[in-house]
C-alpha cells in the first residue's frame, strides 16, 4: 500500500448521535488502509469552498462494506451542520489520511493519553497501537460536561487505567485538565505523554510532561481550510530542531508535533 493521502468518493454507511456529537461511519476507499493514529481526514461540503477536517475515531479493517472509518463531528457552523445531516447512503468526497500522525515509542514504555471533548478521538486508535506494542496505557478523557465526554466506556477497554474529568463534575473528577495535569503525569509515571484537545489543554499537558521529564506529543487543532498543505492558511509557530523560531503548516508539518516545540505564547 503506497503512503500518502488520496482524494476519493466515500459513502455514509451509518450516522448516529452520541451525546453532543454525531458519529459518521464512512467508506473511503484506500483511506482506512493508510490511516495512522493522529492523522485526519478532510470532507468536502457542497456549496463551501473550504473543507472541514475531522479526527478519525476508529478504523475498521473489515466490515460487510469493506474498510470503514468513523469521524466525530461537533456542529460549529453551516458546513458541519450540513455534514451532520448527511443521511445513510449519501456520497461525500474525502481526502486523507492527512498530516503527521503520532510517533510510537520503540520500546514498551508507559504512556499517558489525555484528550478533551471530541478531540480525544485519535487517542483511541493510538491506545490500540500502543497496547499492541506492549506499552502500558493510562487514559484521561475530559470535557466540560457529560454530553461532551467521548466514549468513556470504550476507554475502559482501551487502557489499563482511565480517569474521567468533567469541568462541571457531572461525572468523574471535577475540574479541567489544567487543574490536574501535573498530578496525572506524576501518577502515571509516563515516559511519553500524548494529548489532543484545545490549545490550553495541550499547553498544560506539555508543560507538565516537560516538568516531569517525559516526552510529549500534542495533536494541534487549527483551522485548516484545505488540510492538504496547499494554502498556507494554517500557521503553527514552532521552534525548529535548530532552535530557530519558525512558522510551519499545522496540516502538513502537524497536526502532531512535540509539545516542547510549540511556541504556545504565539499561538
Bind-site residues for FAD: 79-80
**Are the CB atoms for 202 and 116 separated by under 8 Å?**
no
Q: What is the DSSP letter of 187?
A: H
The answer to whether 227 contacts ligand FES (rule: CB under 6 A) is yes
CB of 92 to ligand FES, least distance (A): 19
Number of neighbours of residue 250 by Cβ within 10 angstroms = 25
Per DSSP, helices labelled H in 107-231 are 123-132, 152-158, 177-188, 199-212
Please state the residue numbers annotated as binding site for [2Fe-2S] cluster.
Answer: 226, 231, 234, 251
**Are the CB atoms for 45 and 52 separated by under 8 Å?**
yes
Question: Distance between CA 222 and CA 236 in Å, rounded?
Answer: 8
Label residue 98 exposed, middle or buried (CB < 10 Å: 0-12, 13-18, 19+): buried
Question: Would you give the distance in Å from CA 18 to the centre of its chain?
Answer: 17
CB of 264 to ligand FES, least distance (A): 19
154: cell is 470504550
The answer to whether 137 contacts ligand FES (rule: CB under 6 A) is no
Which position among 146, 167, 222, 239 is part of the footprint of other proteins (CB under 8 A)? 222
- The residue assigned the cell 502515571 is 188
Span from 19-27, 89-97, 199-207, 245-253 in contact with ligand FES (CB under 6 A): 245-253
The answer to whether 186 contacts other proteins (rule: CB under 8 A) is no
Span from 21-29, 63-71, 110-118, 250-258 in contact with ligand FES (CB under 6 A): 250-258
32: cell is 482506512
CB of 260 to other proteins, least distance (A): 20
74: cell is 461537533
Please state the residue numbers annotated as binding site.
Answer: 79-80, 226, 231, 234, 251
**Are the CB atoms for 97 and 5 separated by under 8 Å?**
yes
The answer to whether 75 contacts other proteins (rule: CB under 8 A) is no
- Nearer to other proteins among residue 132 and residue 265 (C-beta): 265
CB of 236 to ligand FES, least distance (A): 9
Give contact residues for ligand FES (rule: CB under 6 A). 224-227, 229-234, 249-252
Give contact residues for other proteins (rule: CB under 8 A). 4-7, 44, 48-51, 79, 93, 95, 222-223, 225-226, 228-235, 246-247, 252
Amino acid at each position: 500500500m503506497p503512503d500518502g493521502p488520496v482524494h476519493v468518493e466515500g459513502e455514509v454507511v451509518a450516522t448516529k448521535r452520541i451525546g453532543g456529537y454525531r458519529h459518521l461511519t464512512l467508506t473511503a476507499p484506500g483511506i482506512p488502509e493508510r490511516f495512522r493514529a493522529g492523522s485526519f481526514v478532510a470532507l468536502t461540503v457542497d456549496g463551501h469552498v473550504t473543507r472541514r477536517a475531522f479526527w478519525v475515531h476508529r478504523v475498521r479493517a473489515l466490515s460487510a462494506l469493506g474498510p470503514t472509518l468513523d469521524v466525530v463531528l461537533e456542529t460549529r457552523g453551516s458546513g458541519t451542520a450540513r455534514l451532520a445531516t448527511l443521511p445513510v447512503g449519501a456520497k461525500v468526497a474525502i481526502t486523507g489520511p492527512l498530516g503527521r500522525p503520532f510517533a510510537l515509542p520503540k520500546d514498551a514504555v508507559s504512556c499517558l493519553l489525555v484528550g478533551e471533548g471530541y478531540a480525544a478521538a485519535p487517542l483511541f486508535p493510538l491506545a490500540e497501537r500502543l497496547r499492541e506494542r506492549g506499552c502500558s496505557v493510562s487514559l484521561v478523557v475530559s470535557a466540560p460536561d457529560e454530553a461532551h465526554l467521548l466514549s468513556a466506556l470504550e476507554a475502559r477497554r482501551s487502557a489499563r487505567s482511565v480517569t474521567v474529568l468533567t469541568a462541571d463534575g457531572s461525572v468523574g473528577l471535577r475540574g479541567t485538565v489544567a487543574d490536574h495535569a501535573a498530578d496525572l503525569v506524576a501518577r502515571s509515571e509516563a515516559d511519553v505523554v500524548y494529548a489532543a484537545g484545545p490549545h490550553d489543554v495541550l499547553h498544560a499537558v506539555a508543560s507538565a510532561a516537560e516538568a516531569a521529564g517525559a516526552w510529549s506529543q500534542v495533536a494541534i487543532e487549527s483551522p485548516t481550510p484545505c488540510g492538504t498543505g496547499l494554502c498556507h492558511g494554517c500557521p503553527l509557530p514552532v521552534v525548529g530542531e535548530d532552535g530557530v523560531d519558525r512558522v510551519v503548516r499545522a496540516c502538513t508539518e502537524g497536526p502532531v508535533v512535540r509539545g516542547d516545540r510549540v511556541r504556545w505564547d504565539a499561538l
